[in-house]
Each structure stands twice: as C-alpha cells, then as structure tokens.
Chain A
Amino acid sequence: MTEPQFARAIDRSHMTVSDEVAIQITNMNKWYGTFHVLRDINLTVNRGERIVIAGPSGSGKSTLIRCINRLEEHQAGQIIVDGTELTSDLKNIDKVRSEVGMVFQHFNLFPHLTILENCTLAPIWVRKVPKREAEETAMHFLEKVKIPEQAHKYPGQLSGGQQQRVAIARSLCMKPRIMLFDEPTSALDPEMIKEVLDTMIELAEEGMTMLCVTHEMGFAQAVANRVIFMDQGQIVEQNEPREFFNNPKSERTKLFLSQILGH
C-alpha cells in the first residue's frame, strides 16, 4: 500500500483525539419495514476523531450516519450525541441537528436562494444570529472553502465541486461540533473531487470531529484515525488506517479492499 498522493503535507498538530465522548451508539438496530438494515451497532466517537466508514453499497453505512442526526429513525438501542439522547422528542432532535453538520452526496443546496443566503438561512432562523453577523460568518467560511466571489450567485450557476464546497460552508456556518459526510465526492467529476477533499482535509486539520462515508481510500489513509468497514448492516472490522489497509483481519474486508484497490 503506497502513501496517498496529496499536494501538501498534512498538518497533524491539531488532530488530537480527546477523551470526551462526542457520539455514543449502543446496541442500535434499525429496520426498513421487516428488512433489518442496521444490526447491533456499537460505536463510540470521541471528540476530535476522524472516522471513515467504508463498505459495499447497501451495507448500511449511509443509514448509520443518517441516524446520528435522525434523518433516519432507529427502532432499538440508544444514540447519544453531545450528551443529548435521540428520541422522538422534537426538541432534542432539533438541538442535535443544529450541533451536527451534514454534507450530502447531491449537495442539496437550496436552488432558490443565493450562495450567501444558503449559508445565512439557518444561523438567522435557528440560531437567531443578526443578519449582518450571519453574513460575516458566511463570508468567512466561503473564503475558507475558496469561493467568496460566488456569494451572490445561485447554486445552479456553480460547478459540482463548488456546490459541494458551498454545502460544507453552509454546514460550518452553524458552528457544528460534529460533521457528517455522506459520500461527499461520489457525485463529482474526478477533477472536482480533489478540491472537495482538500476542504475536508483542512477541516480535519483544525480538529473537527468527522464521520465520513466515502470510497476515497487515499483520504482515509491521510486523514482518518479510524476506518470502519461495514457489511450487511453490521460493523465487520475497524482499525486505524495503516493496519486496516495493510493487514485486514476479516475475509470480507480483504475481498472488499482487493476489489476497490486491486486495479
């Protein structure tokens, strides 16, 4: 396994994992009707961890991270995010959602609002931040993802990579403590994947707690401190990236790795 190719050295000085628990998932199960999608998931994420979740399609990895901000409901077990347990209590759900940022495969920007409005909407309406302050924050994060000049355009005028960076900025504007990424680069042209990954790496360097469903194994090796492999709704193997890629334990993991890295 060769080291991944990234343009610059990755600064690990702030990538520290604290003892504080950010997400605690205990014996969590989920069904779609009678189909058992997630089986007995146990996962503890500490603050500052960067976790990459990999696995074949249909293995439940997207469903798992969507349960963390209750876009999907779990039927058994416990999910505690930042000390708040996710139940059907709407107040708790909204509280968790405003603390957890999410980036989707298809960006899901609001097409009827400008880039700036996309970024200021939630801070203004959920956090009750004054408009001017929200705009300043938004411009700060748009600069961070390197597209401040697009602030007054509409999402439809931007490329896929730019849209995904806006989506990341939009989440960051809520000052989340945890970021979830649901296959953020899967819908992008190869040329644009890098600009999104660079943004995510920068975020990791600042010590953000991240859970990322992705097939970008280079990113996993460069940034993750833990790789989780899922199959058939279960966590099959998890390890730190070097061990995971160089010395996979389960047969299923070996097969998966040989398929995605083999050619």
Chain B
Amino acid sequence: MSETHAQTVAYVRDTMLPEQPPPASQAGVVRWLRENLFSGPLNTVLTLAGVATIYWLVGHYYGWFARSVWNAGSLAECRQIIAATWGEGLSGACWAVIRDRWHQYLFGFYPPALYWRPVLVFVLLFVALAPVLFSAFPRRMLLFSAIYPVLAIWLLWGGSLWPEVMIVLGVVLGYLALRLLEPRLPGFAIFGAIGVALAFWAWGAGPLADALRALVPVSLTPAASDRFGGFLLAITLGVGGIVMSLPLGIMLALGRQSDMFLVKALSVCFIEFIRGVPLITLLFVASLLLNYFLPPGTQFDIILRVMILVTLFAAAYIAEVVRGGLAALPRGQYEAADSLGLDYWKAQRLIILPQALKISIPGIVSTFIGMFKDTTLVVFVGLFDPLKGISDFVRADFAWKGIYWEPYIFVGVIFFLLNFGMSRYSMYLENRLKRDHR
C-alpha cells in the first residue's frame, strides 16, 4: 500500500446490504433465451437457421411417418392402403414388414418353439449385470454373475449340460490349484493354476462329460450356430466381446507398461497389429483361415470364432484407452503404493487400476459401443446380422421386395436404444466415482 492512497483506502462499512433479487431481464426464461439463443448477431442467425432446418425436416418427413400402415401382408398391399386412405401419389411408412418379420430381426432363424430360451437369457443378463453395474445390489448376486456366461451358453446352444459343467469345473480346479500353490510358489502359482485348468479341459473334461452324460442325461434341444441371427446374434457377440475384451485389454495395457522386455514387446506387437488391420480382415481370418490352421475335422463353432476375433479387436483398442488412463496417474500414486509394501498386483488392483479405469470410462464405453455396432459386419462371413443379413433375407421375399427405410429405421432405433443406454450408464458411473475434486 503506497502512502498516497492511504487516505482513500481507509474505509469501514457501517451497514450490511440486504439480499436483492436480480432484475427481471437477468433471470428466468428471458435470461436463458438471451444467453443461449440470441447472445449476438451470429448466435441469432444460427438459432434462426437451426429452427428453419428442424421445421423443414419435420415438415418433410412427418407426413411419411403419419401415414404409417401396420396391418398388411405385403408392400403392394401397404401402398394400396395408403392410396385408399390418404389419396394417390402420397408415400407412407409400411411398418407391416416389422409386424410380419420382427421375430426374425430379433432371433434370426432360431427355432420359434425355443424363443423362450434366448428371452430367458436376455432377462437373466440384467440379473447378472445388476450387481456388476450397481453397487446397491447385494454382493452375493455376483456368484450368479459368475456362472451366468456358462448358463447362457447352455440355454442358447442347448445340448447336454455336462460340457458346460466341465467349463465351470476347470475354473474351480484352477482356483483350488491357485490356493494350494500360492504359499509355495508365490508369483508363479497363477501359471500352475492355468496349467491345471487347461490340462483338465484337454484330457479330463471329455471322458468325464461323456460318463456323466451316460449316467444323468440332462439336455436341451440343440440350436446350431447357423440358426442364430438378428439381435440375438448381435447381442451375443456384443456381450461376449465386451465381457472378454475388458480383462484382456487391461492385461495388454499393463503388458505394454511392463518392465519385462518380452511381455512389453509382445503386447505392443499385438496391439499395433490388431489396430492396423480392418475388422473385416480379422473376420475373414475367423471364418476361413482359422480352419486351415486347426487340425482337420475340428468343429470350431463359427460364432465362437467370430467372438474371439471381435474380442481381440476390441481388446487392442481398450488396451490403448486404459494405457491413457494409466499414463494420467501421477507417479506419486505408484510410489506411495510401493512405499507401503504393496506388491505389483496388489498395487495395480487396489490403487492404480481403480483410478486409471475411472479416467478411461468414456473411452472404454466408446470402444464397447463401436464394437457392438461393428458386430453387424459379420454379415460378410455369412452370418445374419440384423442390419443387412436379415434385411436382405426379408427383402428376398416377394411380398416385401423393394422395402428399404422401415427395416433400417427399426434396426437403427434398437441399436440406438442399446447404445444410448450404455452411454448413459457410463455418465452415471463417472458421476458416482467423482471423488477427487469435491
């Protein structure tokens, strides 16, 4: 404070001002409109242009939607009804095709008598997801989430229950091996556990399943993979891919950050290779090339092959997204974890990944959404995706020849709802985990 200002600066307030409402032009709707729509010449022009565009779009397409026909046996009949109801020369939406063929969009060529099975799997999916996605559900429900994949496989493909039980048994044996080996070979027990599980699946599972099948035949009518189609196929591939690609992607991200040269090199090669190749190429690999590499006579399910390739594809992207999250963490977090004596895996699991994944949520969910939409590409390897596979099939019927917009809009709306749901969930999760800057 300089000397000259000493006189003017001295000041003591003797009365406190009461609180007053803002002027009318600075509050409520008027203020909002002015700030957001008409804040300046450019904004005003853009607002008017936007309104004009919306008006034009709605005016153009509203009629088409308004003239919707839901009951008709063919496209020709639809057109007759539109002409009879609203007059000649007008176009309208023929939703009758959806009414007629919705089951194929949802289930493909799955036997209609067995529709209850995919429906049950879909409903149970929410039960299995609830405890994973929302912490309010009891933790014990996670047990169901753990066996859900195997249950879903059995319900969807049918056949004997025992091969699926063998999958679970292998995992349980691996876990027991882990518990037994951990005190003796810390750090290496995990390899022993994986070895035990693989050995069981390779040599023990087949004969045991056959024996049990002979003893206790529990089985459902089989439904082959070529009967899958539509959203049943898209959701099966999508959910399978999401569930498997997240852990794989995390492992790849950690591998890429590893101090071990070989682990790092392999992770980098894998990620860069997969990201450098179009998904279609990988799908062709899944449908054609894999068969050359496998022993002759191996029946390796096409959906499983595609799912594995889709998983690998998504995992490479997830790995990069997670790496971004890991890189965003300050070094101090690693050092604090180290200085408390936490080993690598504990530090990752308890300190590093919870924070890195939180940062990566938007990217991870974007990758999932992209992957889910990419499942429509399986049409190129002869599977019936909802968008093109089923639509082409429906249009091949003489009754619906020439129909374009309605099936695409229908499929688009369902995709939108599912993806929008994922997007909203990711925002919810981000909000719930927002802790550091409160």
Q: Are B340 and A154 in contact (CB under 8 A)?
A: no
Q: Are A125 and B342 also in contact (CB < 8 A) when A154-B438, A156-B435, A156-B438 are?
A: yes
A1 within 8 A of B: no
Tell me the interface secondary structure of chain A in the complex.
mixed
Interface size class of B (residues with CB under 8 A): 20 to 34
Number of A-B contacts defined by CB within 8 Å: 74
A108 within 8 A of B: yes
Question: Which of B2-10, B52-60, B349-357 faces chain A?
Answer: B349-357
B339: which of A69, A95, A106, A110 is its contact (CB, 8 Å)?
A69
Name the residue in B339, B341, B342, B354 with the highest tally of chain A Cβ atoms < 10 Å from its Cβ: B339
A231-259 to B contact mask, C-beta < 8 Å, 1/0: 00000000000000000000000000000
Contacts of B342 in A (CB 8 A): 121-122, 125-126
Question: Which of B137-145, B296-304, B328-336, B364-372 faces chain A?
Answer: B328-336
Q: Which of A153-171 contact B (CB under 8 A)?
A: 154-157, 170-171
Q: Are B333 and A94 in contact (CB under 8 A)?
A: no
The smallest C-beta distance from A92 to any residue of chain B, in angstroms, reads 11
A104: nearest chain-B partner, CB-CB: B332
A81-110 to B contact mask, C-beta < 8 Å, 1/0: 000000000100011011011101011111
Q: Are A174 and B355 in contact (CB under 8 A)?
A: no
Q: Are B343 and A94 in contact (CB under 8 A)?
A: yes
Q: Are B332 and A108 in contact (CB under 8 A)?
A: yes
Q: Are A112 and B341 also in contact (CB < 8 A) when A104-B335, A104-B336, A121-B350 are?
A: no
Q: Are A174 and B340 in contact (CB under 8 A)?
A: yes
Contacts of B435 in A (CB 8 A): 111-112, 154, 156
Name the residue in B332, B340, B351, B433 with the highest tally of chain A Cβ atoms < 10 Å from its Cβ: B340
A10 within 8 A of B: no
The smallest C-beta distance from B429 to any residue of chain A, in angstroms, reads 13
A43 within 8 A of B: no
Bound complex: CA A114 to CA B88 (Å): 70
Q: Are A106 and B332 also in contact (CB < 8 A) when A112-B435, A156-B436 are?
A: yes
Bound complex: CA A111 to CA B350 (Å): 12
Contacts of A126 in B (CB 8 A): 340-342, 346
Q: Are A97 and B339 in contact (CB under 8 A)?
A: yes
A71 within 8 A of B: yes
Q: Which of B310-341 contact A (CB under 8 A)?
A: 330, 332-333, 335-336, 338-341
The smallest C-beta distance from B361 to any residue of chain A, in angstroms, reads 13
Q: Are A108 and B333 also in contact (CB < 8 A) when A156-B437, A156-B438 are?
A: yes
Q: Are A97 and B340 in contact (CB under 8 A)?
A: yes
Name the residue in A104, A106, A122, A155 with the highest tally of chain B Cβ atoms < 10 Å from its Cβ: A122
A109: nearest chain-B partner, CB-CB: B336
Q: Which of B2-37 contact A (CB under 8 A)?
A: none
Contacts of B340 in A (CB 8 A): 97-98, 121-122, 126, 170-171, 174
Q: Are B339 and A154 in contact (CB under 8 A)?
A: no
Bound complex: CA A144 to CA B125 (Å): 49
Bound complex: CA A69 to CA B332 (Å): 14
B333: which of A69, A102, A110, A170 is its contact (CB, 8 Å)?
A110
Q: Are B341 and A110 in contact (CB under 8 A)?
A: no
The smallest C-beta distance from A95 to any residue of chain B, in angstroms, reads 8
B343: nearest chain-A partner, CB-CB: A94
Contacts of A109 in B (CB 8 A): 336
Q: Are B341 and A111 in contact (CB under 8 A)?
A: no
Contacts of A110 in B (CB 8 A): 333, 336, 351, 355
Contacts of B358 in A (CB 8 A): 112
Q: Are B354 and A112 in contact (CB under 8 A)?
A: yes
Contacts of B354 in A (CB 8 A): 112
Q: Are A122 and B341 in contact (CB under 8 A)?
A: yes
A127: nearest chain-B partner, CB-CB: B341
Q: Are A97 and B341 also in contact (CB < 8 A) when A104-B335, A154-B436, A156-B435 are?
A: yes
Contacts of B341 in A (CB 8 A): 94-95, 97-98, 122, 126, 174
A125: nearest chain-B partner, CB-CB: B346
Contacts of A170 in B (CB 8 A): 340
Bound complex: CA A94 to CA B340 (Å): 8
Contacts of A125 in B (CB 8 A): 342, 346, 350
The smallest C-beta distance from A149 to any residue of chain B, in angstroms, reads 17
Bound complex: CA A156 to CA B436 (Å): 5
Contacts of B346 in A (CB 8 A): 125-126
Q: Which of B56-110 contact A (CB under 8 A)?
A: none
Bound complex: CA A71 to CA B433 (Å): 30
The smallest C-beta distance from A155 to any residue of chain B, in angstroms, reads 8
The smallest C-beta distance from A38 to any residue of chain B, in angstroms, reads 18
A108-137 to B contact mask, C-beta < 8 Å, 1/0: 111110000000011001100000000000
Q: Which of A165-188 contact B (CB under 8 A)?
A: 170-171, 174
* A-B residue pairs in contact (CB < 8 Å), sample of 25: A71-B338, A97-B339, A98-B341, A102-B336, A104-B336, A106-B330, A106-B332, A108-B332, A108-B333, A108-B336, A111-B436, A112-B436, A121-B342, A121-B350, A126-B340, A126-B341, A154-B436, A154-B438, A156-B436, A156-B437, A156-B438, A157-B438, A170-B340, A171-B340, A174-B341
Known: A112-B435, A155-B436, A171-B340. 11 other contacts (CB 8 A): A97-B338, A97-B340, A106-B330, A108-B335, A109-B336, A110-B336, A121-B350, A125-B346, A126-B341, A126-B342, A156-B435
Q: Which are the 3 A-B pairs with shortest beta-carbon distances? A: A98-B341, A108-B336, A108-B332
